[in-house]
Amino acid sequence: METQRQLDIDFVRSQFPGLDHGWVFFDNAGGSQILTRTVDRITTFLYDKNVQIGGSYDVSQQAAKALMDSRIAATHLVNAARPEEIIFGSSTTVLLQNLARAMRSQLSAGDEIIVTISDHESNIGPWDGLRDMGIVIKFWPLDTTTYELDIAELKPLLTEKTKLVCVTHVSNILGAINPIAEIAAVAHAHGARICVDAVAYAPHRAVDVQAMDVDYYVFSFYKTYGPHYAMMYGKYDHLLELDPLYHFFYGRDKVPGKLEPGNPNYELAYSVTGIVDYLCELGTRSGGSGSPRELILAAFEAITIQENALTERLLSYLRSRNDCRIIGETANRNGRRIPTISFVFEGQNSEDICKAMDAYKIAIRFGDFHARRLGDHVGLPQYNGAVRVSMVHYNTIEEVDRLTAALDQILGSNGALQNRGAA
Ligand SMILES: Cc1ncc(COP(=O)(O)O)c(C=O)c1O
C-alpha cells in the first residue's frame, strides 16, 4: 500500500521569511510569500553574473548558462519537452498580450476564438482585442448554480473556424480545477488549439503540460513563491509559427528569443531555479526520491494533502453559517478544489469585512480580482465584491481557526447553524 506523503510544515514555514512577522497571509492568490532561496538566486546572479549574455568571456558564458538553467528548471516544473518551450516575461497579462500579437498572421477575418466568462481578464482581453481584425469571439458560459464550465456547452461553440479555446485552469474566484486534458482533447478534435491561464493553479498542484496536451500555458511566479515574473509554455512547433516580436533580424526560427523582446530579465528568470530547488527538497522530505520531476510530484502530493485539510476546515465553517453564500462549489468533491475560497455574507459589504479583519492581522481581500465579467455574472456587485480567502501549503489549520474566530467576532456567530460540517 502506498504511504501518504507528509508535509514537513516546520521546514516549509522556515523557508519563507515573510511568515515571521505575525500576519496570517490569506491573500496568496493575490501574491504569495517568497522563498529565501529564490531571493538568494537573484542576488547571486546580480553579484556574480551580471553581464549581457552572448559574449565570449567567462562571466558572460556563466550568465548564459544561468539563463539556460532557469529554462531547464521551468521545464522540470511544467514537464515541457525541451527548454526552448519556456518563454519568460514580466507578467501573465503581458505574455498573453504578446501571444495574441504573435498570432495575428495565422488568423484571418471570420476565424473564431472561444473564451470563458470565468476567466481573469488577462485571458479574455487580448483575444477580445482581435475583433479589430474580424476575429469572432465566443463566450463559453458558466452555469451559475453549479459554477461549472460544462464541456457539453463548449462543443456546440466549436466550428471549423475555431482557432483557439482560451480557458483558465482554475478560476481565481471559484477555486475548482477545470478538466484541462479533456477540454484540450475536445478542442484538438475540432482542429483548435488551447491556451490555458494557470495562474491560480500552478502554486497548488503539479503541472504536466505534456499529459494535458496543452498548446499554450501561462502563469506568474509571484503567486508561486517567487518574484514578479511569469512564464509561458508553448509547444515548440507552435512557437516556430508565431510572429517574431523582437527585431526584424530575429527570424521565425529564433525560439524562444523572438518572443522575449528586449531579452528576459536574467536575475528574475534565475530565481526560478530556487523555486524548483525548494520543491525538490520538499519532495525529498516528503518521502519522494528520484529525478527532479519525481521530487516535484512528491512535493505537490504533500502540498495537496495540506491544502485539502485547509480547504475542508474553512468550507465546513462557511457551510455552517446561514448567512453565507460560497461563490463556487461548497465541497471539495474528488479533490477538485484548491484552497481559494470566495464568499459573501447576506446584507454585508465585503469591503467592511476585510477592513475589520486587518485589526486581527489577517490579510484577505475583497473584489472581483480582475475577473470582472465573472463577478458581474454571479452577482458580486451588490456585495461590493466577494471576500476571498486564498491559502497555500504554508498556511495552517490554526490560522484558519484564527480567521473563523475573527469572522464570528466581526459578524456575530448567530449566523451559525447547528449542523456545522454538513455539505
Ligand atoms: C487567474 C489569474 N490570471 C491572470 C492574472 C494576471 O497575472 P499577472 O499579474 O502576472 O499579469 C491573475 C492575477 O491576479 C490571476 O489571478
* Residue bearing the CA closest to ligand 1, atom 15: 199
CB distance 370 to 353 below 8 Å: no
Does the Cβ of 195 fall within 6 Å of ligand 1?
no
Backbone phi and psi for residue 264, each to the nearest 5 degrees, phi listed first: -70, 165
Ligand 1 mean position to 120 CA, how many Å? 7
CATH of domain 9-33+298-408: 3.90.1150.10
Ligand 1 mean position to 123 CA, how many Å? 9
Q: Hey, where are the domains in the chain?
A: 9-33+298-408, 38-276
Which atom of ligand 1 is nearest to 168's Cα? 1
C-alpha cell at 286: 516528503
* Residue bearing the CA closest to ligand 1, atom 12: 199
Question: What does pTM read for this prediction?
Answer: 0.96
Ligand 1 mean position to 284 CA, how many Å? 30
**Cα–Cα distance for residue pair 268/40, rounded to 1 Å:** 11
CB atoms within 10 A of CB 413: 12
Per-residue pLDDT 10s for the chain (423 aa) are: 456 788 999 999 999 999 999 999 999 999 999 999 999 999 999 999 999 999 999 999 999 999 999 999 999 999 999 999 999 999 999 999 999 999 999 999 999 999 999 999 999 999 999 999 999 999 999 998 999 999 999 999 999 999 999 999 999 999 999 999 999 999 999 999 999 999 999 999 999 999 999 999 999 999 999 999 999 999 999 999 999 999 999 999 999 999 999 999 999 999 999 999 999 999 999 999 999 999 999 999 999 999 999 999 999 999 999 999 999 999 999 999 999 999 999 999 999 999 999 999 999 999 999 999 999 999 999 999 999 999 999 999 999 999 999 999 999 986 654 333 333
Does the Cβ of 172 fall within 6 Å of ligand 1?
yes
Q: What is the pLDDT of residue 413?
A: 81
Does the Cβ of 399 fall within 6 Å of ligand 1?
no
Architecture of domain 38-276: 3-Layer(aba) Sandwich (3.40)
Gyration radius (Cα) of the chain, Å: 22
- Read out DSSP for 207-265? --HHHHT-SEEEEEGGGTTS-S-EEEEE-HHHHHHSPP-S-TTS-TT-TTGGGSTT---
Ligand 1 mean position to 175 CA, how many Å? 14
Ligand 1 mean position to 331 CA, how many Å? 25
Does the Cβ of 230 fall within 6 Å of ligand 1?
yes
